[in-house]
Structure 1
Amino acid sequence: MSRFQMIGSILTAPITVGFGGSVGLEGPTVATGAAFGSNISRLLHLSQTQRTLMVGCACAGAMSAIFKAPIAAIVFAVEVFSLDLTLISLLPLLGATLSAIITSYLFFGSEILLPFELEKGFSISDLPFYALLGVFCAFVSLYFSKVYEKTHHFFYQLKTPIKRILVGGLSIGILIYLIPPLYGEGFSVINAIIKGHPETVLDINILGLDTSNEITLVLLLLCLMAFKVVGASITFGAGGVGGIFAPTLFMGSTLGYTFAKVFNWWGIFPHSVSLSNFALVGMAGLMAGILHAPLTAIFLIAELTGGYKLFVPLMLTSGISYAVVKNFVSYSIYNMELVRKGELITHNKDHAVLSLMDIQRVIETNFIAIFPSMTLGNVVRDAVIKSNRNIFPVIEPKTKIFLGIILLDDIRSVMFDKGMYDRITVQELMRKAPEVIEITQDKMTVIMKKFEGSGAWNIPVLDNKKYLGFVSKSKLLTAYRRKLIEVTPRA
């Protein structure tokens, strides 16, 4: 991560949120911590495993300080950053989260973002409704993912940053004017909801609707939830810097509260349930579905509430939400862009090692290139005799455009017949390469599949059709083994 990222996010995120961007400050804080971890590890020349652990510790520390939830922070680092949880990694994570939360207490005392204490636990008879809430959370998570992706694609079509800022700023301005609670992070709204008084933030609405009416209140809450997704997506798409945590908690609390409110109102529950409890569990359900982090969701809400009275419904709702969403969306919003680039690091060790490898380091350039107009005699004298390779790339002499290959086996039967030297050209002898590697498009995972599918030992590397060199299977596997040793934690 670049050095600028150590200050970039922490400077631009408050500007984004201060001007109304409907996102949170938690993500940029975690990103800033990650940038510090990355640059410190580079300064100390740490290995890949140590660098990854350093970044994970920095992120866990930042989250621990924000929410005063050290256990959830450790789970977050392991779950989202795909850290290997071993004794050697657990101790630094514990140290990072502990020092962060102590620092937070020194500066801010016992103040937390979501001050709430459970007054009522859950009843076993409520579990079917918590399960149903998990299904609702899953569908809202899918809605979030689809809106986010389509909005991101729309802004991507606007080629210049100025256009994105103008369109995004105007859209957010209109949205906030129509729905004022969408301004900024929205923690005041979340706190009002979990305390059971959402009308305090909904009283100011452009239509002057009476929030004491149950139906009106429910409709306003549903609109708030639906348009928070739009507000957050526009903010990100326009280039705003912020986090997804706050919008997720915002929507989850709104969904959980509305769900319980409607069911209480209809008299479906066997008894009146705690609206705040459902709001809290809804937050966990949305986190599990949108962020694909069910364990983080469970432990974060459990720690924020100061106990584990809701642990069972948290597990149930989060588990169902995550399971349903995973069937439709394979990757979280955090990971979508990394998946497109082929740079996602996961708990799959093989995939992680391949993602960390650099193709530039395995390209070999000591191959003698030949041209279509060359005769067999030219090939023997200028290439075969001078090369210790048995493969020769055929390229256009001026443009360096790759045309094909000639194998030593292709000319072995005629290379000793001098009578054929001036009668056969490269154009007649060359063949199409079984596969090619596009350096700007193909990642290591794709390259490995090309070797498997083609059975080739050498594959040419191209940059916009221009020849660069070859990647050999032997060198690729050697580099893979070295990287595997580098990233495997030592006991």
Structure 2
Amino acid sequence: AVRPVLWSAAASIAAVGAGGSLGREGPMLRLGAAVSSWLGQRTGLSSRRLKILLGCGTAAGFAAAYNVPIGGSLFAMEVILGSFALEIFGPIVVASVIATLLARAAESAAPIYPAPGYGLVAPQELLAYLGLGLVGAAAAVTFVLGVRGFARLFRRFAAVPEAARPVLGLVMLAGIGMFVPEVLGNGFSTINGALQERFALQLLAGIAALKLIATALTAGSGCPGGHFTPSLCFGALVGGAYGELVHVAFPAATGSSGAYAAVGMAAVAAGASHAPLSAILILFEFTGNYDLILPLMLASIVSSVIARRLYPFSIYTEPLQRRGVELSWRMEEAALAGLRVDDMARDDPDTLRPEQSLPEVLDRFLAARRQRLFVVDGDRRLLGCVLLHEIKHALRDPARLEAADARGLMVPVPEAVRGADRLHRAAEVFARSDYERLPVLDDEGRYRGVLAKRDLLAVYAQEVLGRPAVLSTFVASDQPGSKGSAVELPPDFALRSVPAPAALGGLTLAEASLPKLLGVRVIEIRRPAPDGWEWIAPDAATVIAPGDELVVLGPARAVASLLEGRLEAGG
């Protein structure tokens, strides 16, 4: 729903405007993603295209907030979608460019944090920036854990209503801001002060510590807003303090603290977000200084790698992990994680009973044409499996053949999956084995059926590669609790529910001649009724009425043409 997001964005704007230590990118990202999601759902986009549109909205919001079209695009792909596929790159770049042009029409196109004159003094100075990457990783993890710690602390204030906690956090922040105003807001003036070397070492370190507390107070109390800008400010202060120390120790071989403040911004942002590419390009666009690109790259990559080892969750994934949400970073994995094994499991008519004799086992293998059959007892408990390869060995021992049965031939099943497991977990099991089918167990450990590798690959082709669906699930109307059966369709065929074209209104199915025109057959009609929908099993004399939904089966191109209201196959 868009309305809760609008309220959240308004609250975020109010919190940032009141001096909360949060970033203005928060409401922009929320609004961009919400509008994109709403548009995608209204236009009936597929789940994959909806995710791409959501990435476009996020990129547009970030790019408009900070005048960083390249950084906004990379942020959406690296942090939000976790993919750099070409089909994603194009739409996101276009959205980011348009948003930046509109933002520049209202504001200046100049870099937000100019840092002219800074560069690499000598090649050996890269060692100092390598050290800054290590310091940035530690600072980034401290930043993430600090926000988490204060969030836990505020949740323990049971006497304070949840709605009042943000107010309490802002009041406490105001107490700090009365003495150190540099910690208030998103830190724009503080960052520029660090870049222009207006703070001494002690002041840089002190403001950095208080900025961390200010951000943790604001975010931990429940105020909505962005975390990227506060991490930049914290990084500028930490980097500036580190630069002061390094320059005092090696004045001839290192630059001034302003250069280290700029690189520190990228290092801490990369470590906190686990998005080094975005941090590098965003800081380059922020400063407009290409001479710092090598230190930026080195410190950001080192910080990101070390921060992941120190703490596996970023500032964006940590709240989700705290709520028990498992986040798949790759879109490919997310597509499979959206389905359960139960959704694709097939009934297995070729199971063996433990007492079946060898001739019966052989007959079952000949009929099933499989390399492995599962042995199940009377309570549907999975006992093991019989391998065709093992039977070949048994044929060499006549004495063993006479007394052989399924129980004597079976071996343990190395791995099984549960019906509640997600498909991406099943894909990992398939990757570790050579089998074409995996046994599926229900919640009580009983044998449910099998998951076929080709079914999983078909889902991958449909959800990830965008190929037409080759699988459909049928559920009998007299079995409402059934999971249904997955049925494989011929290649390039589709089963879809399409609105009846206006040209077919009033015609019988025989008069419509859809099999002759398109090669499409109507297998069911869904008709509006006063109490919902009426399902009709049609015959040649069934009349197509206005408002009908036709469940059709046929070539994918023909079904797509019918969906567009055209009565000729698409080219």
Give the TM-score, by structure 1 length. Answer: 0.72
SS at the partner of 1:309? helix
- The structure that is helix-richer by fraction is 1
The CA deviation at 1:236 is: 1.7
Q: Which amino acid aligns with 2:217?
A: I
1:180 maps to 181
Contact 1:64–1:101 (Cα < 8 Å) also in 2: yes
Q: Which amino acid aligns with 1:346?
A: W
Q: 1:359 to 1:243 in 2, by over 3 A?
A: farther
2:209 maps to 226
Q: Deviations over 1:437-480 (max 9, x none)?
A: 798xx766678889999x75231289xxxxxx997553998478
The CA deviation at 1:304 is: 1.9
2:169 maps to 168
SS at the partner of 1:4? helix
Structure 1 distance, partners of 2:467, 2:233, is: 41
Which stretch of the first structure deviates more once superposed, 49-58 or 303-312?
303-312
2:6 maps to 7
The CA deviation at 1:488 is: 2.9
The CA deviation at 1:92 is: 1.0
2:554 maps to none
Structure 1 distance, partners of 2:81, 2:112, is: 26
1:247 lines up with 2:230 in the alignment:
yes
1:458 lines up with 2:458 in the alignment:
no
Q: 1:342 to 1:13 in 2, by over 3 A?
A: closer
The correspondence of residues 74-153 of structure 1 with structure 2, limited to 5 A, is 74-110=73-109, 113-114=112-113, 116-123=114-121, 124-153=123-152
Contact 2:21–2:218 (Cα < 8 Å) also in 1: yes
1:406 maps to 379
Structure 2 distance, partners of 1:321, 1:6, is: 33
Decide which of 319, 338, 347 is 1:356's aligned counterpart. Answer: 338
Which stretch of the first structure deviates more once superposed, 324-333 or 116-125?
116-125
Q: Which amino acid aligns with 2:302?
A: I
Structure 1 distance, partners of 2:311, 2:427, is: 25
- The structure that is strand-richer by fraction is 2
Give me the identity figure in percent.
Answer: 25
Q: Deviations over 1:37-69 (max 9, x none)?
A: 111111111112211111111111112112222
2:464 maps to 487
- The root-mean-square deviation of aligned C-alpha atoms, in Å, is 3.6
Q: Deviations over 1:283-313 (max 9, x none)?
A: 0000111111111111111122224211101
| Runs of at least 5 residues in structure 1 that lack an aligned partner in the other structure | 199-216, 365-389, 393-404, 411-433, 463-468
Structure 2 distance, partners of 1:155, 1:298, is: 34
Structure 2 distance, partners of 1:483, 1:158, is: 47
How many residues of Structure 1 are paired with residues of Structure 2 in the alignment?
400
The CA deviation at 1:153 is: 2.4
Structure 2 distance, partners of 1:96, 1:289, is: 27
1:20 lines up with 2:25 in the alignment:
no
The correspondence of residues 67-466 of structure 1 with structure 2, limited to 5 A, is 67-110=66-109, 113-114=112-113, 116-123=114-121, 124-158=123-157, 160-162=161-163, 164-165=165-166, 167-198=168-199, 217-264=200-247, 266-271=248-253, 273-339=255-321, 341-347=324-330, 349=332, 351-357=333-339, 406-407=379-380, 457-460=440-443
Contact 1:5–1:32 (Cα < 8 Å) also in 2: no
Q: Which amino acid aligns with 2:338?
A: L
Give the TM-score, by structure 2 length. Answer: 0.62
Q: 1:171 to 1:361 in 2, by over 3 A?
A: farther
Structure 1 distance, partners of 2:32, 2:447, is: 39
Which stretch of the first structure deviates more once superposed, 3-12 or 51-60?
3-12
The CA deviation at 1:235 is: 1.6
Q: Which amino acid aligns with 1:44?
A: T
Q: 1:186 to 1:472 in 2, by over 3 A?
A: farther
Q: 1:154 to 1:481 in 2, by over 3 A?
A: farther
Q: Deviations over 1:345-378 (max 9, x none)?
A: 31273x32343236896799xxxxxxxxxxxxxx
SS at the partner of 2:185? coil
Contact 1:252–1:286 (Cα < 8 Å) also in 2: yes
The CA deviation at 1:166 is: 5.5
SS at the partner of 1:457? strand
Structure 2 distance, partners of 1:487, 1:222, is: 48
Q: 1:227 to 1:488 in 2, by over 3 A?
A: farther
Contact 1:288–1:321 (Cα < 8 Å) also in 2: yes
Structure 2 distance, partners of 1:177, 1:461, is: 61
Contact 1:64–1:70 (Cα < 8 Å) also in 2: yes
Structure 1 distance, partners of 2:104, 2:167, is: 40
Contact 2:115–2:288 (Cα < 8 Å) also in 1: yes
The CA deviation at 1:321 is: 0.9
Q: 1:252 to 1:485 in 2, by over 3 A?
A: same
Q: Which amino acid aligns with 2:223?
A: G
| Runs of at least 5 residues in structure 2 that lack an aligned partner in the other structure | 347-374, 384-414, 469-571
Structure 2 distance, partners of 1:231, 1:470, is: 55
Larger Rg: 2
Structure 2 distance, partners of 1:135, 1:84, is: 27
1:66 maps to 65
Q: Deviations over 1:174-195 (max 9, x none)?
A: 3333432211211111112212
SS at the partner of 1:81? helix
Structure 2 distance, partners of 1:321, 1:78, is: 20
Structure 1 distance, partners of 2:172, 2:112, is: 28
The structure whose RCO (Cα within 8 Å, separation 6+) is larger is 1
